[in-house]
Amino acid sequence: MDTVNSTNPIVHKRGAKFKKRVTGFFISLYDINKFILRFFREAFVPPFEFKEIMRQCYEVGVRSFTLITLTGFIVGVIFTKQSRPSLLQFGASSWLPSLVSIAIMRALAPLVTALIAAGKVGSSIGAELGSMRVTEQIDAMEVSGTKPFKFLVCTRVIATTLTIPILATYTGFIAILGGYLNVATNEGTSYTTFIEQVFEPLTFVDFIASLIKAIVFGFTIGIVGCYQGYNASRGTEGVGKAANGAVVTAMFLIFVEEIIIVQIAGWFR
């Protein structure tokens, strides 16, 4: 009896901690849903910040152009190089262009683009808005009568949602170009033959699914980065946490969304 009574405070303390974590999780979930609903409520109501949206599209797209180009090309070359030995074992090296196109257009192009953007763009958004929250610039905007949420959050989310699909499409074609250079070097396949074999296995569902992926990924990167930065805690430490949380959370959600969209697209195929 003495042993049981002595352990009761510990059990009670652990139960209280668990209850606090569960409560905190549901509160965070409510705050996130409230943040997303606020975006849809304010994003499509005038006045529209077209100039700021264009500036954010430039920051997301043009500033990421070099990194996206290099990464897409390397992905195409490496995937083609790694796939060739396996196909040669079965005497199916002629299927290499089709395999490259299916893998890149269905999965790799939007996924690689989103992961790069999550690390580069998501962290930048989280750190920028986090520093503005910490230095009370957002509070000053609210006091002055402006709408900081519309100017800071809506413009960035719209920019990522519009720009990531464009970058993903570009990444796909650059990766296919890298695959072609590898195939042409090793097998002497002409450009016309390679392009015909690349687009032969692809269907309308593949392009639509990739486009939907890129749009969803772009929205996720923008909304997560803005949420983490806009709700950053006080102090310089909060800026680092906002940037780190934006990257980690966005990448996790991207993989979850990838699984869901692939499953849904499989039903239509």
Domain boundaries, the chain: 1-45, 51-268
**What's the token pair of residue 268?**
């239509």
The pLDDT of residue 237: 76
The Cα 260–Cα 82 span in angstroms is 27
> What is the maximum span of the chain, computed from C-alpha positions, in angstroms?
84
The pLDDT of residue 6: 47
Alpha helix (H) ranges present in the chain? Answer: 2-43, 50-61, 65-89, 96-103, 109-117, 123-134, 137-143, 148, 155-187, 191-199, 204-230, 236-268
Peptide bond into 9 cis (omega under 30): no
Tell me the backbone φ, ψ of residue 44, rounded to 5 degrees.
Answer: -105, 20
Q: How far is CA 197 from CA 55, 92, 118, in A?
A: 39, 13, 32
Q: pLDDT tens digits, residue range 136-172?
A: 888 888 777 778 888 888 999 999 999 999 999 999 9
**What's the token pair of residue 157?**
């989310």
Read off the pLDDT band of 7 (50, 70, 90).
low
Class of residue 133 by CB neighbours under 10 A (exposed 0-12, middle 13-18, buried 19+)? buried
Q: How far is CA 224 from CA 32, 184, 263, 265, in A?
A: 9, 42, 24, 25
**What's 46's DSSP letter?**
S
pLDDT for 95 beyond 90: no
Q: State the sign of the Cα–Cα–Cα–Cα dihedral 49, 214, 217, 117.
A: negative
The Cα 218–Cα 162 span in angstroms is 7
pTM for the predicted model, two decimal places = 0.85
pLDDT for 93 beyond 90: no
Q: pLDDT tens digits, residue range 49-60?
A: 889 899 999 988
Class of residue 141 by CB neighbours under 10 A (exposed 0-12, middle 13-18, buried 19+)? middle
